[in-house]
Amino acid sequence: MKKIVCSIATLFLLGIVTAQPPAGDALIGDYYGSKVTAGKTIKAKALMTNMQKAENNTVENALIEGTVLEVCPNKGCWVKLQLDNKEVATVKMKGYSFFVPLALKGKRVKIDGKAEIATTSVEELKHLAEDANKPQSEIDAITKPRKEVKILASGIEVVK
């Protein structure tokens, strides 16, 4: 019985430890996930035009630059990215395979990934607000889905 209790306690503590964003200072040149492809980033205006022209509102293999406004405080599993046209994109990590540190907030980054214009459900918007520790009144005010830019990142690199 004692072994079972110890095992459960160990698993519980392991869960708490692994549910934290990774440590790190997010210094210039640091990257998370796959190494970001070298090349010229696509401007937000061109990205929006390309997504709107695409059959499924998606641009594969986009190299996008922006400023991180917010990082998921629970795991570092998503970020809000300000594009150069003031559009805010939600960035998630491909395959949930990597996470970013809280220190990424305020940094300029390049993201290698897939960008799309998609509708985010009320359920997901509320989940993101809960992750971001928003007040309950703000979470309750979410009643409609929102069309937004979503990026599925395979790699993120700090550039400034």
> What distance in Å separates the CA atoms of residue 87 and residue 156, rounded to the nearest whole number?
18
Domain that includes residue 84, residue range? 21-158
15 domain residue, yes or no = no
102 domain residue, yes or no = yes
Q: What local confidence, expressed as pLDDT, does residue 84 receive?
A: 87
1 domain residue, yes or no = no
2 domain residue, yes or no = no
> What distance in Å separates the CA atoms of residue 44 and residue 92, rounded to the nearest whole number?
18
Average pLDDT over residues 139-157: 95
What is the domain count for the chain?
A: 1
Taking the model in full, what pTM does it have?
Answer: 0.82
pLDDT of 88-136, one tens digit each? Answer: 999 999 999 999 999 999 999 999 999 999 999 999 999 999 988 999 9
Residue 127 dihedral angles phi and psi, to the nearest 5°: -60, -45
4 domain residue, yes or no = no
**CATH assignment of the domain containing 134:** 2.40.50
Position 44 confidence tier, pLDDT thresholds 50, 70, 90: confident
